[in-house]
Amino acid sequence: MSNKVQQSNTSNSASSSPDVYNIVLLVVDIVIMLAKFWLIVIESIVRAFLPKKLSNVSGQTILITGTGHGMGKEMALQYAKLGAKIICWDINEQTNAQTVKEIKQQGGTAYGYKCNVTNREEIIELAAKVRKEHGFVSIVINNAGIMPCHPLLEHTEQETRLMYEINVLSHFWINQAFLPEMIERNEGSIVALSSCAGLFGLANLVPYCGTKFAVRGYMLALAEELRHANPNSNIKFTTIYPYMIDTGLCKNPRYRFPNLFKLIGPQEAAASIIEAQREGLSEASIPRRFLNIEKVGRFVPRRAMAVVNDFLDTGVDTDKK
Ligand SMILES: NC(=O)c1ccc[n+]([C@@H]2O[C@H](COP(=O)([O-])OP(=O)(O)OC[C@H]3O[C@@H](n4cnc5c(N)ncnc54)[C@H](O)[C@@H]3O)[C@@H](O)[C@H]2O)c1
Ligand SMILES: *[C@@H]1O[C@H](CO)[C@@H](O)[C@H](O)[C@H]1NC(C)=O
Ligand SMILES: *[C@@H]1O[C@H](CO)[C@@H](O)[C@H](O)[C@H]1NC(C)=O
């Protein structure tokens, strides 16, 4: 017993000075953390008032999926105008060839490849081919997506699986093909098209919302993982949340106040995505204010937001009528 007392006594006296030391270390850590925290907060507030710094994409090789139509096509045309070389992937060979043709007509450089992004083998093979033929792909834009729109109980198994294959799983296979070289060079940019359906839960879009929330979580975690692996990582991750864009993807939009929620054209949407990518934003909605609405909305009870939703009466109706 006396032995035990002695033991605990010695360990006590031995640890008393390291305790002080550890407390000092902890206080220093807290001060550093708070200083960094507020510096970044203040810096981002100041930055909002400064002119935007956009990266130079001239001479860069950019891969975009879903370039046959809609925002993918418009991004391809606009990035080409900025002097980038565009690699166009789409399942639709004809519309994709048309995009490549239009880029060449405006004096740009583009190469079209037929790719069904549900097919992992096809992606891996094509990615190797693209890297061999065109070298380092510094910007990858995962844009291809589908949006079947009807009540959950009317969604078929095939349609649901296909939606997850295109909207979510393709990002895994494509990024796994192009990330290693980005990590090696410590440069590059990955962009993912989520949606406002990745910020809010919407009727008639249960599986689609699932895919777009998945993209958001995937991008968040991937950025975090790379930051952990290399605190000085220069690889940028940008997640885009468009509201309704006038591409034909969204068949039956419904709104009570059309002026407040008017459909945005694909050109304007593409310009907005390109700006977000060149600025290196981690996330951006189109229009930009929607992301703030979601942040504010999360402060209040969900039932309170439902009252606002009912008042605005905005959404998408089923495509089966
Ligand atoms: N239009 C909107 O209102 C809206 C809103 C929010 C998010 N989004 C998202 O933005 C992205 C682009 O939307 P959009 O409206 O421009 O689409 P779109 O329908 O106009 O064009 C999509 C393109 O992807 C291609 N594609 C489809 N399946 C493919 C496959 N398996 N493999 C390869 N290519 C395939 C199509 O052929 C088409 O050229 C999608 O991910 C969509 O979910 C769209
Ligand atoms: C952008 O990059 C290209 C290719 O590397 C270069 O020729 C051009 O001068 C750069 N432009 C600016 C404004 O830095
Ligand atoms: C794309 O691949 C999926 C499955 O891998 C298939 O169901 C679909 O029919 C294919 N689409 C086309 C147009 O070939």
Instruction: Tally the residues of the chain.
Output: 321
Distance CA 131, CA 146 (A): 27
Alpha carbons within 13 angstroms on the beta-carbon side of residue 234 total: 10
pLDDT for residue 6: 46
Q: Cβ(118) to ligand 3 under 6 A?
A: yes
Q: Cβ(146) to ligand 3 under 6 A?
A: no
DSSP state of 50: S
Give the ranges where 186-257 is alpha helix by DSSP (H).
206-229
Long-range contacts of 114-119 (CB under 8 A, 24+ apart): 114/89, 114/90, 115/65, 115/89, 115/90, 115/91, 116/91, 117/65, 117/89, 117/91, 117/144, 117/165, 117/166, 117/170, 117/173, 117/174, 118/162, 118/165, 118/166, 118/169, 118/170
Buried b (16+ CB within 10 A) or exposed e, 179-206: beebeeeeebbbbbbbbbbbbbebebbb
Span from the CA of 103 to the centroid of ligand 3 (angstroms):
27
Q: Cβ(18) to ligand 2 under 6 A?
A: no
Distance CA 1, CA 3 (A): 5
pLDDT for residue 15: 53
DSSP state of 66: -
For the annotated catalytic residues, the residue numbers are 208
- Ligand nearest to the Cα of 68, by number: 1
Span from the CA of 94 to the centroid of ligand 1 (angstroms):
16
C-alpha triplet 240, 273, 39: angle, nearest 5°:
70
Cis amide bond preceding 287, omega within 30: yes
Pick the residue whose CA is nearest to atom 6 on ligand 3: 118
Of 244, 246, 239, nearest to 277 (Cα)?
239
DSSP sequence for 175-202: HHHHHHHHHHHT--EEEEE--GGGTS--
Beta strands 236-242 and 283-286: pairing type? parallel
193 within 8 A of 240, measured Cβ to Cβ: yes
Q: Is the dihedral of CA 294, 297, 301, 304 positive or negative?
A: negative
141 bridge partner residues: 64, 191
Q: Cβ(148) to ligand 1 under 6 A?
A: no
Span from the CA of 118 to the centroid of ligand 3 (angstroms):
7
pLDDT in tens, the chain (321 residues): 344 444 444 444 455 677 999 999 999 999 999 999 999 999 999 998 999 999 999 999 999 999 999 999 999 999 999 999 999 999 999 999 999 999 999 999 999 999 999 999 999 999 999 999 999 999 999 999 999 999 999 999 999 999 999 999 999 999 999 999 999 999 999 999 999 999 999 999 999 999 999 999 999 999 999 999 999 999 999 999 999 999 999 888 888 888 887 789 999 999 999 999 999 999 999 999 999 999 999 999 999 999 999 999 989 999 987
Q: Cβ(90) to ligand 1 under 6 A?
A: yes
Distance CA 311, CA 47 (A): 35
Give the ranges where 50-147 is alpha helix by DSSP (H).
70-81, 93-105, 120-134
Question: Hunting for tokens 């993982």 — which residue is that?
Answer: 225
